Amino acid sequence: MAKPHKSLPRPFLALVFIGLSLNLARAQTDPLPSWNDTAPKKSIIAFVQAVTKEGGPDFVPVADRIAAFDNDGTLWVESPVYTQVAFAFDRVKQLAPQHPEWKKEQPFEGILDGDMKAVAASGEKGLFQVIIATSTGMTSAQFEKTVSDWLAQTHDKKFNHLYTELIYQPMLELLAYLRSNGFKTFIVSGGEVGFMRPWTENAYGIPPDQVVGSTMKTQLQMQDGTPVIMRLPQISFVDDGPGKPVGIDTFIGQRPIAAFGNSDGDQQMLEWTAAGPGARFMLLVHHTDAEREYAYDRTSSVGKLDKALDEAAAKGWTVVSMKDDWKKIFAFQ
Amino acid sequence: MAKPHKSLPRPFLALVFIGLSLNLARAQTDPLPSWNDTAPKKSIIAFVQAVTKEGGPDFVPVADRIAAFDNDGTLWVESPVYTQVAFAFDRVKQLAPQHPEWKKEQPFEGILDGDMKAVAASGEKGLFQVIIATSTGMTSAQFEKTVSDWLAQTHDKKFNHLYTELIYQPMLELLAYLRSNGFKTFIVSGGEVGFMRPWTENAYGIPPDQVVGSTMKTQLQMQDGTPVIMRLPQISFVDDGPGKPVGIDTFIGQRPIAAFGNSDGDQQMLEWTAAGPGARFMLLVHHTDAEREYAYDRTSSVGKLDKALDEAAAKGWTVVSMKDDWKKIFAFQ
């Protein structure tokens, strides 16, 4: 007996059914499971849906989906001291036997004696001195190995975890969510590129060439007939504050449509991002969770968040309260 | 009647058949149709097959498949003058009414009078002076528009084509072939990034952030309450010769496994590429075709190829003779 011609052939029905199931499964998979269903998560998803909706008023072609992320305090822990500073201080202790003069020279003396007041008194100039003394005068390959070895061995004091485990799980999900929607994700950090590139691919899925940061002056030299890149004792570019839009323009060559930061050092990057045409997304991570991480903002010596917090309120930028908006902070929690 | 249990069900056989057909189609599609079947093409294909063969002795993971291409003379025409220089000379003529002093100042005077001997006599210093005078003191957005407008209107004298049409078809195929095999393709050029980034994506499929080049000093400034990147009258980095490995290290942060150039300015980039471990590929484009393009090498004022040509012979780097190894040079030919 012939089937009524209106009914669809069974294999076709099966395909429709499979299709529906896949769509349901997709809709049910939360791309940001470590985020509470509060305003920041909703604004992120609304933005991504708007810029990826073909034919929609806010559609942005894949080539222009550039997202810039600060690193310290935005993707990983920066308190009580920036990880690169912890590294430099450890290097001072390690190299001290070869530098007897450091015993009587600040800020080296303070670092060796554990006198953080003396170290702080030397200011940014002292800090740059320490960074130059501990991370130049060697090849880029030697420095990469030094950084990798230190990160593989050193646990932080509060959590007793490797620094590369002190990365924010909700931000990892956000990076993956943006990439799965055609975004190219960049780091734009005050940290030095040579300190970040050895590990950002494993930690964040961000390859070395998508890491923008401060740079040391370098030079091509020959060592035993082999070319090497020598790190010279001079900071050539500081990728912080007004330096961040400059770093973006120099390294990326395109204005981001989304920018993520956590401090006043990110203010100009967010302003630069906001000043472009079309849909824009600016977000600040606010450290509000003294229990699960740290709580600090307007008066902090690291990641000071003051002017940018006011600007976020005035301009409607998204502000994430780590305490209220994140279900978990680290994967291990 | 039941089928013999050994035979495969028909839908499965159909799938196998489709699979075989697809494989045959793939094998029959030549990835480099504009290349003659001479040694360079064979060496390229052998290298790509070796580094992509999982489990093979030369296998390279996708993350490390970095390829660096010089631009002028390697991807597009550089003779009789580098395109950026042609642009700067046109700008001098255009801006001359606002600079009466140029009438009595070399090399501007020579450019305005068509006295190329006087221009040449001013050397590299004079050239940098012209580039600074014609491409700074404006925002990055203004410069981008100036470059794009010029490229959209200006035809070269020999071929009467837009400069963005004077790109080498065999190299386009090579870029696409490498990318389809998991390579990330970068430009590493002596040209200025601001001059290249407006058009490299359309011309080569290379996005702005994968363009490494010489840079101008820039600064974040406010114009009527809007942030802009101002191009200052100072060259901050020259990405040529020994600068190329430095540019690679600073911008890309990874050593390429394959590098492509055409002049002594690429020598250190090829040496830097060759000095890494594992399989390596170094190629020089030799301009040998006076009829279809240009013929020049050891004594040329652009793209001088002398020491690098000797080193290629000594070290077995691949040398492409444009006349003998390329079926066509431009898509329009």
**pLDDT at residue B1 in the model:** 40
Averaged pLDDT, B208-220: 98
* A303, A263 Cβ separation under 8 angstroms: yes
Averaged pLDDT, B90-106: 96
Q: Indicate the residue of B63, B226, B245 with minimum beta-carbon distance to A275.
A: B226
**pLDDT at residue A1 in the model:** 40
d(CA B214, CA B243): 9
What is the pLDDT of chain B when averaged over all its residues?
93
**pLDDT at residue A4 in the model:** 44
Q: Indicate the residue of B186, B220, B268 with minimum beta-carbon distance to A220.
A: B268
B268/A245 Cβ within 8 A: no
DSSP type of residue A102: G
Task: Give pLDDT < 70 ranges for chain A.
Answer: 1-28
Chain A 28-57, residues with CB within 8 Å of chain B CB atoms: none
A117-172: pLDDT as tens digits: 999 899 989 999 999 999 999 999 999 999 999 999 999 999 999 999 999 999 99
CB of A61 less than 8 A from some CB of B: no
Does residue B296 surpass a pLDDT of 50?
A: yes
- Chain A residues whose beta carbon lies within 8 Å of the beta carbon of residue B227: 245, 268, 271-272, 275
Chain A 122-151, residues with CB within 8 Å of chain B CB atoms: 140
Our CA-based measurement puts residue B118 at a distance from the nearest CA of chain A, in whole angstroms, of 34
d(CA B158, CA B177): 30
Q: H/E element holding A220? A: strand A211-223
A260-277: pLDDT as tens digits: 999 999 999 999 999 999
The DSSP code sequence of A248-259 is IIIII-S--SEE
- Chain B residues whose beta carbon lies within 8 Å of the beta carbon of residue A271: 227
d(CA B223, CA B74): 39
Q: Helix H segments across chain A?
A: 10-28, 39-52, 83-95, 108-113, 116-121, 123-135, 140-153, 169-180, 193-196, 200-204, 243-247, 267-274, 307-315, 322-325
d(CA B109, CA B117): 11
**pLDDT at residue B124 in the model:** 87
Any idea which residue has 């631009």 for tokens?
Answer: B71
* B291, B285 Cβ separation under 8 angstroms: no
Taking alpha carbons only, the member of B292, B289, B290, B296 closest to residue B321 is B289
Strands B66-69 and B184-192, sheet pairing: parallel
* A200, A208 Cβ separation under 8 angstroms: yes
Q: Which two tokens stand for residue A144?
A: 């990469």
- Chain B residues whose beta carbon lies within 8 Å of the beta carbon of residue A246: 218-220, 229
Residues 6+ apart with CB under 8 A from A142: none
Residues 6+ apart with CB under 8 A from A259: A67, A68, A69, A188, A266, A269, A270, A272, A273, A281, A282, A283
Strands A184-192 and A281-286, sheet pairing: unpaired
Share of residues in chain B with pLDDT > 70 (%): 92
Q: Which two tokens stand for residue A118?
A: 């003396």
- Chain A residues whose beta carbon lies within 8 Å of the beta carbon of residue B208: 252-254
* Residue A258: how many other CB atoms lie within 10 Å: 25
